[in-house]
Chain A
């Protein structure tokens, strides 16, 4: 079953691996990649907790709306689990 997720639209200062252009955007999990050290801790020389990492697929229509070159083209990015929130399938 396809799992829909939204990238949290937080904008903290500092080093985050969830690109700004994907924040607040909804996609589907393409695959789970395993757990990796949290870059938000590694970047500051701190011991890092392992965080689950996912490959999330977005449509260009979702990212760019009417400006998309071809709405059905896609973009995949790796996003850590703590930057994702689940979107129920019946949600608008």
Chain B
């Protein structure tokens, strides 16, 4: 990354969506409670490989890293995660419906 050739810096920005702010909050809260370290998150982000940077948005990568660390820390299991994600898909087609607020 550092020192690599790359194109112009894209200047467009966006306001954060609620789900992105929630990812940020979960990251801060879980690390301040000692469930993982920022270093653990960075390690998980790097392990996704360079192409994750092209394929996924910033907070998509961060929720993946948060989840990876929580699974490794035994906070919940993969089975619990998968079952819950399945349940959520059945709640509705939009974030608002699926998150129930």
Q: How far is the CA of A45 from the CA of B39 in the complex (A)?
A: 9
Q: How large is the interface on B (under 10, 10 to 19, 20 to 34, 35 or more residues)?
A: 10 to 19
Enumerate chain B residues within 8 angstroms of A53, measured Cβ to Cβ: none
Choose from A21, A44, A63 the contact partner of B40 (Cβ within 8 Å).
Answer: A44
Give A residues with C-beta under 8 Å from B: 14-15, 19-22, 37, 39, 42-45, 63-64
Interface residues of B (CB under 8 A from A): 1-3, 36-40, 42-43, 46, 69, 72-73
Determine if A14 and B43 form an interchain contact, defined as CB atoms under 8 angstroms apart: yes
| Distance of A42 Cα from B41 Cα, bound (Å) | 10
A64→B38 CA distance, assembly (Å): 30
Tell me how many residue pairs across A and B have CB atoms closer than 8 Å. Answer: 33
Q: Which of A20, A21, A22, A43 is B39 in contact with, Cβ under 8 Å?
A: A43
Apart from A44-B43, A45-B72: 8 A-B pairs, beta carbons within 8 A: A14-B43, A22-B2, A39-B39, A43-B40, A43-B43, A44-B40, A45-B36, A45-B73
